[in-house]
Amino acid sequence: MDSIQMSHLRLLFVVFSSFLAATIGDDSTDSYWLLRVKSELTDPAGVLENWSAKVHICSWNGLTCSDDQAHILGLNLSGSGLSGSLSHEFGHLTSLEILDLSSNSLTGSIPPELGQLQNLQILLLFTNYLSGKIPAEIGLLKKLQVLKIGNNLLTGEITPTIGNLTELRVLALAYSQFNGSIPIGIGNLKHLIFLDLQNNSLSGLIPEEIHGCEELENFAASNNQLQGDIPSSMGLLKSLKILNLANNSLSGSIPVALSRLSNLTYLNLLGNELSGEIPSELNQLVQLETLDLSENNLSGAISLLNSQLKNLESLVLSNNALTGSIPGNFCLRNSNLQQLLLARNKLSGKFPLELLNCSSLQQLDLSDNRFEGELPSLLDKLQNLKDLALNNNSFIGALPREIGNMSNLENLFLFHNLITGEIPMEIGKLQMLSVISLYENQMSGQIPIELTNCTNLTAIDFFGNHFTGSIPATSGRLKNLFRLHLRQNYLSGPIPPSLGYCKRLQFLALADNKLSGSLPPTFRFLSELSLVTLYNNSFEGPLPTSLFLLKSLKIINFSHNRFNGTIFPLSGSNALTVLDLTNNSFSGPIPTTLAMSRNLSRIRLAQNHFIGNISSIFGHLTELKFLDLSFNDLSAGLPPELSNCRKLEHLLLNNNQFTGTMPPWLGSLQELGELDLSSNQFYGTVPAELGNCSRLLKLSFQSNNLSGEIPPEIGNLTSLNVLALQRNKISGSIPSTIQQCKKLYELRFSENFLTGSIPSELGSLTELQVILDLSKNHFIGEIPSSLGNLVKLERLNLSSNQLQGEIPSSLGELTSLHMLNLSNNHLQGQLPSTFSGFPLSSFLGNDRLCGPPLLSCSESVRQRKKELSNSEVVGIIVVIVFISTVICFVMLYIMLRIWCKWREVSISSADSGGTEKKREEGKWVYGDEKRRGEYWKVNSLSPVSSQDKRTSGIACIFQLKMDSEAM
C-alpha cells in the first residue's frame, strides 16, 4: 500500500473517530454522561427513545446545543412522565445553563453533584416527588438566577448557602415540607424579584435582613408557622407589589412602615394574631387593589377610606373585633370596589347608605354584626351586586319590593334577622337568582307563586318563619333546584305533584309543618334525592311502592305522622345511613332488605305496630350506632348476630314482647351508651359481662322477670347515669361495688326481693339527683346516715321495707328533696324539722314516728297512753282475765285445804273432849275472825263416829281433787 493510500486511511480514521466520539462519546463527552443519566430513568412515554448512538446528540429530545454543537446548554424534559431518580452523573454536564425536569414523577434526593454545574442559570425541579434536604452544594451555583424546586417532599431547613446565590432572581420553595426559620442570608439576594415560601412548616421570625432584597416584587410566605412581629424593615422594599403572609402566627400590630410600599397592589395578612387598630396610613397605598386583614384580632373603627384607595377592588376585614360604623365618605367618587367583606365583627348602626354609592360592588357581606333598622328601599342602586349577605344581624321590617330590580343578584342571604312581612312578588323578576336564604326570621304570608319564575334557583331555605298556605303548585318549574328547606313553618295542604319534576332535587326538608295527604307518586322521578325529612306533619296512608326506585336516598325521617302499611318501599336504596319512622302506624315485619344498606348508622322504628322478630341478617350492619325498636309488638329472643354491631351506642328494645335470657354477648358491645330492654319478658340473671360496657350512661331492665343477684361487675360502669332494675324478681343485697358508679343521678331498685341492709356506700353517690328508689323490697336495719351526703337528691323512696330505728338527722339536710316516702316501715323517733313540709302519707305505717306533719312527740306519748289500739286492749284484757282466773283457783285451792283441815280438827275435837276443842278454836280465831270462827263452828259441828271420820277425810280429799281438776 503506497503512502497516498495510507494517508487516506488515516484521514478516514480521524473522521470516523470524530464522528464516533460525537455520537457515542467517551467519558469526556456529554453524550456519554447523558446516556448514563438515561439509564437511571423510567420512560413510559418513550420521550428518550432517540437518545441513542445512532442519532446525533443535538437531535436528542429535550436538548439544546451550543452553536458549534460541541456542548449541551439546555435540558428540558418537563412534563414527560419520567420516573426514577436524579443521576449523580448530572454533575459532569458542566456546560448546562438550563436544567428543567419539572412536572414529572422523579423520586429520591437532589444530588449534591449539581453544585458542579458552574454555568447553570436555571434549575427547575418543581412538582415531583423528590425528598431529603436541599444540598448545601446548591450554594456553589454562582450564576444561578432561577431556582424552583417546590411542590416536592423536601424536608429539613432551607440551607443557609442559599444566601451565596447573589445572582438569584427567582426562588420558589413552596408546597414542600421545609421547617426551621427563613435563613438570614436571604438578605444577600439583592437581585431577588420573586420569593415564594408558602405552604411549608417554616417557623421563627421573618428576618429583619429581608430589606436587603432591594428588588423584591413578590414575597409569599403564607400557610407556615411564622411568629413574632412583621418587621418594620419591610417598609424599605420599595419595589414590592405582592405581600402574602396569610395563615401564620404573626402577632403585634400592623407596622405603619408598610404604608411606604407605594407600589403595593396586593396585601394579605389574614389568619394571623395581629392586634390593635388598622393604621390609617394604609390609605397612602394608592396602588392597592386587594387588602385582606381578615381573621385577626384587630379592633377599633375602620379608618380606611375608599375615596383615597381609588384602585381598591377587594377589601376583606372579616373575623375581627372592629367596632363602630362604616365610614360616611366610603365610595364617594370613582370607586372600583367590587368586593367588601366585613362579616363577623362588632360593627353597628343602620344599613350604611354610603355603600349604595359603591355602584361597582359585586359582593357585599355584612353578616354576623350588630346592624339594625330597616333595609333601604334604594338597595336596588347596587345594580352590579351578585352576592348580598346580611345574615345574623338585627334588621327589621319588610323585604323591600325594589329588591326585584337587582337583576344581577345571584345569592341572597338574610337569615337570622327580624325581617317581617311577606316575600314581595317582585322577587320573581330575579332571573339570575340561585340561592335565597331567609331562614330564622319572622316572615309570614304565603310563598309567592312568582318565586317559581326564578328558574335558576338551586337552593331555597325558609326554615323557621311563619309562612302559611300551600307549597306553590308550580314548584316543578324549578328544574335546577338542589335544596328545598321549608321546615318549621305553618304550611298546609298536600305536597304538590309537580315537585316530583324537580329532578335535580337532593335535599327536601318539609318537617314541622301542617302538611297532610299522601306522598305523590311523582316522587319516583326524584332519582337524585338524598335527604327527605317530613316529620311532625299529618301525612297519612301507605307509601307509594315506587319509592323503592329512589336509589340515592341516604337520610329518611318520616317520624310523627300517620303513615301506615309496610315500609318495604323505603328499603330500595343501598345508600341509606339514617331511617327514622318513629310514631306512625306502620305494620308488618321489618324488611330484611334494609340490611343491604351496609352504611346504616341509625334505625328508629319506635311506636309503630311492627311484628315478628329481629332477623339475624341485621348483624351485617356493622356501622350501626342507633337501633330503636321500642313500643312495638316484636317478639322472640335477640339474635346473637347483633353482637357483630360493635359500633352500637344506643340499643332501645323496650316495651315489646321479647323473651329469653339476657344474652351475655351484650357485654361485647363496648361502645354502648344506652341500653334499654325494659318492659319485656326477659328472665334469668343480669349478665355480669355488662361490666365490660364501660361507656354505658343508661342501663334499664325494669319490668321484666329477671332473678338472681345484682352482679358486682355493675361497679365497672363508672360512666353510668341511670340504673333502673325495678319491677323484677332480683334478690340478694346491693353490691358494695355500686359506690364506683360515681356519676349516677338516677337509681331505681324498687319492687324486687332485695334483702340485707341499705349499704352505706350509697352515700358516696353524690351525683344522685333524679331519684333513689329502693321501695317495696325486704331491706332491714337502719337508714344509713351517709344518705345525707346526697345533697342533690330530689326524690327518695324507701317505703314498704322493714327498716328500723330513727331517721338520721343528716337526711334533714337534703334541701333539694321535693318527694320523700318512708312509709310502711318500723321507723321510730322524731322526724327532722325540715320534713314538716312533706305530706302525711310520706310517713304512714311507722307507728312510733312523731313530729310534724305527724303528732308532736309529747302528744304522741299521751295519745298512746289514752288511746290504746284494739290489739293492745284485747291483749290487756286477756292477761287480766288469765291472771284473775289463776288467782281465784289458787285461792279456792287454799280455802279447800283449810276447810278440809278444819273438818279433821273438828272431828278430832269431838272425840277428845272440850279442852282440845277450845285450843283448836283459839288457833283459828283472832279478833273479828272470832265471829267468823263461830260461823264455821255452827255450820260444821256434828257428831260423827270413828268410821265416819275416815270417810269424811277421804271425801274431802276426793272433793279437793275434783276441784283442782275443774280449776
pLDDT, residue 307, reads: 74
Q: What is the C-alpha to C-alpha distance for residues 99 and 87, in angstroms, rounded to an integer?
A: 13
Is residue 4 predicted with pLDDT exceeding 60? no
The CATH number assigned to the domain holding 150 equals 3.80.10.10
Q: What is the C-alpha to C-alpha distance for residues 853 and 472, in angstroms, rounded to an integer?
A: 65
Tens of pLDDT, residue by residue over 80-96, are 999 999 999 999 999 99
Q: For residue 554, what pLDDT band results from cuts at 50, 70 and 90? A: very high
Calculate mean pLDDT across residues 290-306: 92
Is residue 908 predicted with pLDDT exceeding 50? no
Is residue 967 predicted with pLDDT exceeding 90? no
Taken as a whole, the chain contains a residue count of: 967
Cell of 588: 308488618
Q: What is the C-alpha to C-alpha distance for residues 175 and 171, in angstroms, rounded to an integer?
A: 13
Cell of 109: 434526593
Q: List the one residue out of 843, 809, 805, 840 whose CA is nearest residue 826.
A: 805
Sheet order of strands, 492-493 included: 492-493, 514-517, 538-541, 562-565, 585-588, 609-612, 633-636, 657-661, 681-684, 705-706
Q: What angle do CA 800, 804, 810 make, to 5 degrees?
A: 100
Lowest mean pLDDT among 26-30, 254-258, 476-480, 482-486: 26-30
- Asked if the structure places residue 61 within a domain, the reply is yes
Burial class (CB in 10 A: 0-12, 13-18, 19+), 562: middle
pLDDT, residue 895, reads: 73
pLDDT, residue 29, reads: 80
Q: What is the C-alpha to C-alpha distance for residues 386 and 866, in angstroms, rounded to an integer?
A: 95
Contact 168, 196 (CB under 8 A): no
Q: What is the C-alpha to C-alpha distance for residues 820 and 807, in angstroms, rounded to an integer?
A: 12
Q: What is the C-alpha to C-alpha distance for residues 530 and 467, in angstroms, rounded to an integer?
A: 25
Strand partners, 387: 363, 411
pLDDT, residue 877, reads: 61
pLDDT, residue 892, reads: 76
Q: Which own/partner pairs from 815-820 qualify as long-range (CB within 8 Å, at least 24 positions apart)? A: 815/791, 816/769, 816/791, 816/792, 817/793, 818/794, 819/771, 819/794, 819/795, 820/795, 820/796
Is residue 432 predicted with pLDDT exceeding 80? yes
Contact 253, 230 (CB under 8 A): no
Calculate mean pLDDT across residues 541-547: 96
Is residue 890 predicted with pLDDT exceeding 50? yes
DSSP-derived 3-state class of residue 150: coil
Average pLDDT along the chain: 88
pLDDT, residue 854, reads: 87
| Alpha carbon 681 to its chain's center | 34
Q: What is the C-alpha to C-alpha distance for residues 200 and 157, in angstroms, rounded to an integer?
A: 11
Is residue 15 predicted with pLDDT exceeding 80? no
The domain total for the chain is 1
Lowest mean pLDDT among 128-132, 593-597, 906-910: 906-910
Q: For residue 937, what pLDDT band results from cuts at 50, 70 and 90? A: very low
Strand partners, 170: 146, 194
Q: What is the C-alpha to C-alpha distance for residues 671 and 729, in angstroms, rounded to an integer?
A: 28
Which pTM does this prediction carry? 0.78
Calculate mean pLDDT across residues 428-438: 97
pLDDT, residue 887, reads: 77
Burial class (CB in 10 A: 0-12, 13-18, 19+), 866: exposed
List all residues 6 or more positions away from 923 whose beta carbon is below 8 Å from its beta carbon.
none
Task: Print the domain residue range for 108.
Answer: 31-166
pLDDT, residue 519, reads: 96
Tens of pLDDT, residue by residue over 36-64, are 999 999 999 999 999 988 889 999 999 99
**Residue that the C-alpha cell 405603619 belongs to:** 256
Tens of pLDDT, residue by residue over 107-136, are 999 999 999 999 999 999 999 999 999 999
- Asked if the structure places residue 802 within a domain, the reply is no
pLDDT, residue 19, reads: 42
DSSP-derived 3-state class of residue 663: coil
Tens of pLDDT, residue by residue over 834-867, are 998 999 999 999 989 998 898 877 665 565 555 4
pLDDT, residue 891, reads: 74
Is residue 24 predicted with pLDDT exceeding 70? no
- Asked if the structure places residue 54 within a domain, the reply is yes
- Asked if the structure places residue 151 within a domain, the reply is yes
CB half-sphere exposure, 939, CA atoms < 13 A = 7
Q: For residue 909, what pLDDT band results from cuts at 50, 70 and 90? A: very low
pLDDT over 70 percentage in the chain:
87
Tens of pLDDT, residue by residue over 67-77, are 888 889 999 99
**What is the largest distance, in Å, between two alpha-carbon atoms of the chain?**
213
Per-range mean pLDDT, top range of 206-220, 302-316, 842-856: 206-220
Contact 254, 232 (CB under 8 A): no
pLDDT, residue 329, reads: 77
Tens of pLDDT, residue by residue over 266-280, are 999 999 999 999 999
Tens of pLDDT, residue by residue over 355-384, are 898 889 999 999 999 999 999 999 999 999
Is residue 448 predicted with pLDDT exceeding 90? yes
- Asked if the structure places residue 109 within a domain, the reply is yes
Q: For residue 878, what pLDDT band results from cuts at 50, 70 and 90? A: low
- What is the CB neighbour count within 10 angstroms for residue 897? 12
Is residue 261 predicted with pLDDT exceeding 50? yes
Within 229-272, strands assigned E span: 242-244, 249-252, 266-268
Lowest mean pLDDT among 96-105, 476-485, 882-891, 945-954: 945-954
Q: For residue 614, what pLDDT band results from cuts at 50, 70 and 90? A: very high
- Asked if the structure places residue 147 within a domain, the reply is yes
DSSP string over 921-937: HHHH--TTHHHHHHHHH
Q: What is the C-alpha to C-alpha distance for residues 922 and 905, in angstroms, rounded to an integer?
A: 12
CB half-sphere exposure, 400, CA atoms < 13 A = 14
Is residue 905 predicted with pLDDT exceeding 50? no
Is residue 654 predicted with pLDDT exceeding 90? yes
Contact 175, 153 (CB under 8 A): no
pLDDT, residue 306, reads: 72
Query: H or E segment at 950?
Result: helix 946-966
List all residues 6 or more positions away from 918 whose beta carbon is below 8 Å from its beta carbon.
none
Q: What is the C-alpha to C-alpha distance for residues 190 and 185, in angstroms, rounded to an integer?
A: 11
pLDDT, residue 903, reads: 53
Lowest mean pLDDT among 443-447, 688-692, 877-881: 877-881
Tens of pLDDT, residue by residue over 666-696, are 999 999 999 999 999 999 999 999 999 999 9
- Asked if the structure places residue 146 within a domain, the reply is yes
Query: Is beta strand 650-652 parallel, antiparallel or unpaired with respect to 146-148?
Result: unpaired
CB half-sphere exposure, 712, CA atoms < 13 A = 3
Is residue 956 predicted with pLDDT exceeding 70? no
Query: Is beta strand 72-76 parallel, antiparallel or unpaired with respect to 63-65?
Result: antiparallel
- Asked if the structure places residue 86 within a domain, the reply is yes
